[in-house]
Amino acid sequence: MIAAQFNQSSRPFLMSFISQISEDLKNAMRAKDTVALNVIRNLKSALKYAAIEKLGADGELGDTDALAVVRKEIKKLQDSVDGAEKAGRPEAVEAAKAEIAVLEKYLPAAMSTEELGKLVDTVIAELGATSKKDMGGVMKALQERVAGRADSKSISTEVAKRLA
């Protein structure tokens, strides 16, 4: 598989996220990697649909919005894995996990729990948050600073621990 070509860290800084996906689609076609090809085609379709929904027919999503679409697609596949496991369909579980692996290559490196904890402490101190009532403001500030390196659930968990 051409997984190394999907690795985001190898992306040139000047290439946009959308153009990188187009390039990866071509590479998957050349390599005859059917899993990657299907996943990237579906991702491209989801990105175009999201762009039309948000910006109109001629719009193109920015990198942040595109990453949100990738996360949404991964979430759908994780739900498929859960359903297939409950149904006792190991072949469907493996197929969905392979698709998730392709999509995860587009996500930035995940933030460690320690890093996230420090950032949560910093934001809480900056905002002067003291109770769960302040959680919304803290979450909003954290979402901007985390920039896709942690999911909302883990951020929420860390904030809730500290504002209990």
148-162 confidence digits (pLDDT tens)? 788 778 888 888 888
Q: How many residues does the chain have?
A: 164
pLDDT at 63: 76
pLDDT at 90: 92
Q: Is the pTM of this model over 0.85?
A: no
Sites in the chain below the pLDDT cut of 50:
1-14
Give me the DSSP letters along 80-122.
HHHHHHHHT-HHHHHHHHHHHHHHHTTSPPPPPHHHHHHHHHH
pLDDT at 144: 81
pLDDT at 14: 39
Backbone torsion region of residue 61, taken as left when φ is above 0, otherwise alpha when ψ lies between -120 and 50, otherwise beta: beta
Structure tokens at 142: 């954290």
